[in-house]
Amino acid sequence: MSPTKYILGEIAGAGGMGVVHRAVADGQPGSFAIKQLRPELVNETAMVRRFENELRVGRLLQHPNIVRVVDDGDTAAGPPFFAMEWVEGEPLGRRIARGGASSTHEAIAIITRLLDALAYAHDHGVVHGDVKADNVLVAGQGEDLQVTLIDWGLARFLAEPVTIATDFVSGTPGYMSPEVLHGEPPGIPADLYAAGVLLYELLTGVSPFGRGEPADIVERQLYGEIEPPSTLIPGRTLHHGLEMAILHTLAKEPAQRPASARVLADAIALHANAPEVWSPPSEAPSLAVAEFSASAATRDWRPNPSTRRRLAIGTSDARLAVEAALSRDDGNEIAAAYLARASELLSRHQLRESARQLQLAVDTLDLTSDPSAALWPVLLSLAAIHGGLGDRPHARRIAQEARGHAERAHAEIGVRRADALLRRLAH
């Protein structure tokens, strides 16, 4: 089969790695988006590897909210390129800068579609690594709303070691999670953090970290307090639970964020039909586009050694094991990984953080297809920690729940351990 010949049109987008043209193809209807590696980068191994990685992700992920790669391209005649479907839509940053804050219903509709795309990618072991307003295209509204996540140039396969620019961090300052700014590779919590930033922007019309030079934004990311979104939208009712979900997602410690894109989507969807008393302003606020990402390009830089640190849960093997287990959606593997993480925290006498991790495991396993075989060991460990913290009534309730799960899983050892723990908690 002869390679498809494309006729390039106007430039639709450009970044540090490549240029995207709108194009048509001989004998084929419609338009395509052609992404071509910049000619001056064809001999730079790291950039070529990044480009190839994006193509590899595009071949793997087939989802209605993710841009599709339709042709690998013929690289014999020039710089590497690949063809994607042409997606109609406006970058989310431009949409917010033009129209200001969205209604709660519209904001939730956009974010839940984005989270559906991220959940699918995470299920396939891929993190996007550069979720930002310019990488989300939005078209239509209501039932016809279409949201598409694009530009997978910084995507990472969770099961593979980091091999690209390991001395640098990459991303857009206003959307990069604190652990990535400290030099860690992006994981599932980093994608969720960026989605939380986008939801904040949709509801308020501004970034949670303001504008200014990248160094100022990074400083606020790492050390600043986030202003609750409700304080920025006077006269509008924002449900407390939705606000808490946003602030939870923007926690500086990745362990304190939701366990997965589905968990976050479920928490947000609870408020999709809440009544809203609010009218958008007659004129959109005057916003600098740089408050979002339209002029804030993805970039690489070396973290300052004075700010590089290990977060509370570190970059341990236990944490990476949890990410890998979540990507495979294996209940027993998820339970084992969280138990290992909790054990690591206990060894550092971090009882409350260990309990938080085990609760995240319970919330996650509740969403798997058959959590019964995996859940009772997690619940027993959680009950024991609450008992150690002095909350015996809570510990007994969890231990009883663990016993029930062990019975349903026909795990005699689990039943015996639950009975023993309940006896200890009774005294």
Q: Which residues of 102-116 are buried (b: 16+ CB within 10 A; e: fewer)?
A: bebebbbbbbbbbbb
**Phi, psi for residue 288 in degrees, rounded to 5:** -75, 130
**Phi, psi for residue 268 in degrees, rounded to 5:** -75, -40
The runs of H, that is alpha helices, within 153-300 are: 178-181, 188-204, 214-223, 240-249, 261-269
**Phi, psi for residue 273 in degrees, rounded to 5:** -110, 15
Instruction: Write down the catalytic residue from 116, 130, 134, 151.
Output: 130
**CA 374 to chain centroid:** 25
CA separation for the pair 263, 255 (Å, rounded): 14
Residue 320's Cβ-count burial label (10 Å; 0-12, 13-18, 19+) is middle
Structure token pair of residue 137: 């295209």
Amino acid sitting at position 250:
L
Backbone conformation region of residue 210, classed left if phi is above 0, alpha if psi is from -120 to 50, else beta: left
Q: What is the DSSP string of 82-118?
A: EEEE----EEHHHHHHHH-SPPHHHHHHHHHHHHHHH
Angle 111-117-120 (CA atoms, 0-180°, nearest 5)?
A: 140
Residue tagged 């639970």 (tokens):
241
Q: Is 170 helix (H, G, I), strand (E, B) or coil?
A: strand
Amino acid sitting at position 251:
A
Amino acid sitting at position 221:
Q
Q: Is 130 an annotated catalytic residue? A: yes
Q: Which sign does the torsion angle of CA 397, 399, 402, 408 carry?
A: negative
Residue tagged 């106007």 (tokens):
10
Amino acid sitting at position 317:
D
CA separation for the pair 197, 133 (Å, rounded): 9
300 forms beta bridges with 170
Measuring CA to CA, which residue among 290, 270, 323, 300 is closest to residue 125?
323
Q: Is 167 helix (H, G, I), strand (E, B) or coil?
A: coil
Active site members? 130
